Structure 1
Amino acid sequence: MHIDTHYLFDGMPRRGKTAKESTGSFEDRLSALPDDLLHHTLGFLEAREAVRTCVLSRRWRHLWRPIPRLRITNIDAFRSVEKLNEFVCKLFMLRDAGSVLDECELDLRGFLQLDDLWVHLWIRRVLACRARVLRLDIYTNLPTSSEEPLVQLANLPLLSHHLVRLELHGVFLKEGFLDFSSCPVLEDLKIADCVLHTVKILSQSSKHMSIMGCQFLWDMRPPRISAPSLVSLQLHGSNMIPVLESMPFLETASVNLCQKYEEFCDFCDGGSLEAEKCDCGMSELYWDNGRKRGFSVFLEGLSSATCLELIASPEMIIFTRDLQCCPPFSKLRSLFLNDWCLVFDLQILLFFLHHTPVLEKLTLQLCKEPRSTMKIGGSSMEQSLKLKQLKIVVVKCQMIDDRVYNITKILSSCSISLAKINIQKL
C-alpha cells in the first residue's frame, strides 16, 4: 500500500512543485550520491527536518525512512505535547521496518508536562527498531509547590539484545526499570539528575557506569549496585551511599559523596564493644543477607581499581568504618584523596597507605580552611610503613599551612624523599 508522507506530517507542504520544477533544469549532484551516504547524512539533521526532505523530489521521497540516527530535539517546532506525540507515532509507523536504528536522542527539555505512558511507548518503539544507543533528556514535571513528580518511566525492565549505550536524564525510575538483566550487551550506562526508587541497580554486562546528581529513595534497606563487569565507575552528588557489590574488573573509579544524608549511629560507629547489641537498625540496614559486621559497605567494591578518586566530607563515617574491614587495594597505582583522610591525626591516611602496596602516585587536595585539628601521628603504623614504591606525592592547596608541613614530615618518615613531594597551589 502506498502512503504519501506529504499528508502525514503537520506543517509540511501538501502539494507543491519539486525543486526541479520550481527552479528549472539543473545538475543535482547531491541526489546522485549513494543511498547509504545520504542516509548517514540525514541522520545528523533533527528528525523533523530529515522528514521534510521528502518533498525535494521523487528521489528523496523515501530516503528518510531508514536513516540510522533519529534526533528529536527541537521542541519549539511542536505547538503542543499532542503534536509531538502525533509526530513521533507517525515517524515510527512510517519508518522502514527492516532498518536498524544505531542511535536515538530524545531531548524534550522545555515541555512543562509529559504523559508518562507516551514516554514509555516512545522508548519501546525505539528499542523495537533495534537501537544501539538511546539518550533521553526530559526534566519535565519538575517538583513544584504542587509536588508534581518527574516523568515516571514504567516499572518494567527494558528488553533489548541490541542496546549498547543508555543515557537517562531527569526522570523517575523504579526498581523494575533499573534491572538491566534483559539487556545483555548494554555496556555504557549513564544516569543523571534522576530520582531512583529502588533497592538495587543490576547490570551484568555494563562496563562503564555513571550516576550523577541522583536522589535515592529507599524503604527498608539502602540500595545496592550489582555490576560485576564494571571497568569504570562514576558516583557523584548522590544523597546517600549505596552498597557496592564485587567489581573484580574495575580499573578506574571516581566517587564524590556528601555527608548530609549519611546513615550512621554514634553508638555503632563509636567503637563500643557492645555495638552488636545496638537496636538502631544499622546492622539490619548494612549487614543483612547473613553477612557479619566485618562486611565493607563501599570500599570493598572499589578494591580492584588501579586508579581511584575519593572525595568526601571529613565528617563522613562510612569510609572510616569501611577501612576497618576493607581488603587491600592490591592493584591501585594512582590515588586521589581530599582532606577527609587527614582527620584523627593522619591515621586514616596511614591506614589507607597500608592497604595500597603498589601505589605509585598519591594526590592530596586540601580545602581552603582547615576543618579539623591535625597532629603528627608517631604511631607504630607510621614507623612500620615504608613507601619505597611511591614515585610521586602531589599536595594541592590554597596555602602552605601546618597541614602541608605535617604531611611532608610524616611521609618523609615513611621513606619518601622530599624530591618526590610536589606542592601545588590551587
Structure 2
Amino acid sequence: MINPELIKKNPELLRENIRKRESNFDVEMLIEKDMKRREIQMKIDSLRHELNIITDKIAELTRKNQDAEELKRKAKEIREEIKKYEEERKSVDNQWQNLILNYPNIVHQSVPEKEPKITKTWGEPKKEEFHIPHWEIGEKLKIMSEEKGAKLSGSGFTVMQGDGALLERALINFMLDTHTKNGYREIFTPYLVREEIMEGTGHLPKFAYDMYQIEKDNLWLIPTAEVTLVNLFRDEIIPEEELTINCVAYSACFRREAGSWGRETRGIIRQHQFNKVELVKISKPEESYDELENLVKDACRILELLNLPYRVVLLPANDMGFSASKTYDIEVWMPGLGKFVEISSCSNCEDFQARRAMIRLRRKSGKVEYAHTLNGSGVAIGRCLAAILENYLQKDGTVKIPEVLRDYTKKSFIGK
C-alpha cells in the first residue's frame, strides 16, 4: 500500500495519481476517512490525558483519606466515553483500511501518461506467407488439443501432448538454467496460499474476482509465483548487505480472466491455467530502478537466446498494473497472428508490496526502512511455446526447434 502519511501531507499527489491512472477510485472518501480517524484518535488521546490527571488526583485524595467519589464518577464517565470513541475508531479504521488497500501505487515520474513508448526492438519480424496461428500448427502436428482441454476442464484449458509437452518441459528447464546461471536463486513454492499472502502483493482484496479460491480452507490458487516469492520475506528485516536478493521460480498459474474472456480465445495466449517462470528482486530503494533495467535485460535474454524477435514497451500510467510504479512489457513477434504479443511484464513496485507484507531492510547504521520489490516474467511458457511454433514453422509444416533447446529435447524438429 502507499505511505499513509501521504494522505495528510500530499493529498493532491493522490488525486493526480488517480487522474493519471484514469481510475474510478474515490480519493475524497479516503481523505475523509483518514481525517476522521485522526480526529477520533485526538479525542481519545485527550480523554486519556484527562483521565490520567483525574486518576492521580483520586490517588492523592485517597492517601489523605479525603472524599474522591465525585472524581471517581467523572473517571467512570470518561472511560465510557473513551470506549465509545474506540468502537467508532474501529469502524472507521476498517473502512480506511479497505480503502487504502484498494488505492493503486504511485506512478513514477518517468512514466508516460497515455501513450506507450517503445524503448527497444530486437530481431527481424518474420512475415512469410505460410506462417499460420500456433493453434493450427499444434493441431496439425497433434501436439496440443483445446478439445481435450475442454473435455477435462471446460473452455480456456489446453492439453499439451507428445512433442508439445516435451517442448513445454524443455522451455521450463532452459529458462531456470539460464536464470540460475545469471545469479538467481531457484525456489519452488506452494500453489495454494493464505489470504494475507495474496493481500501482501496487492492481488487481494481488489482482484478477488479474478482469482480461484478454495473456500472451505480459505486458500487461494496463485496467479503467479510473484505472490509466493515476495511473501517469502514477509515480516522480515533483511541486512542491507544481503541486498539485492534475486529469486526465480517455475509455477503453474491460475486466473479466472474475468472480464477478459472472449479475447484471444483460440490457442494458448490466454488460459485459465498456464506455466510461467517468474523473477523477483528484493532491493534497496536507491538501487531499485537500476535493478528494473537489469530485470528487463534478464527477461529479454531468454528471447534472444531463442532468437525470437521482440520489442520492449514502457507502459503509460493508464495501462499499468495496480501494484506497479513503473512497468516495461516485453512483446514477442507472432507471425501467425501478425502482431506483437506480451510475453513478460517487468515492474518496480517500490515499497508498495513491502508495506503490505512488512518487508524491511536494516541499514548498517541500524536504521530500519521498507525494501523495494520488483517482479517480472522470465518468461511465460505457453506464449513462448506459441511464438516458437509460429516463428520456427517450416514450409513443409514441420517446426524447427531452437538450437539452445536441443540439449533438452534431444531432437531438432517437431513433425519429422
TM-score of the superposed pair, with normalisation by structure 2: 0.21
- Provide the TM-score with structure 1 as the length reference: 0.20
| Structure with more helix by fraction | 2
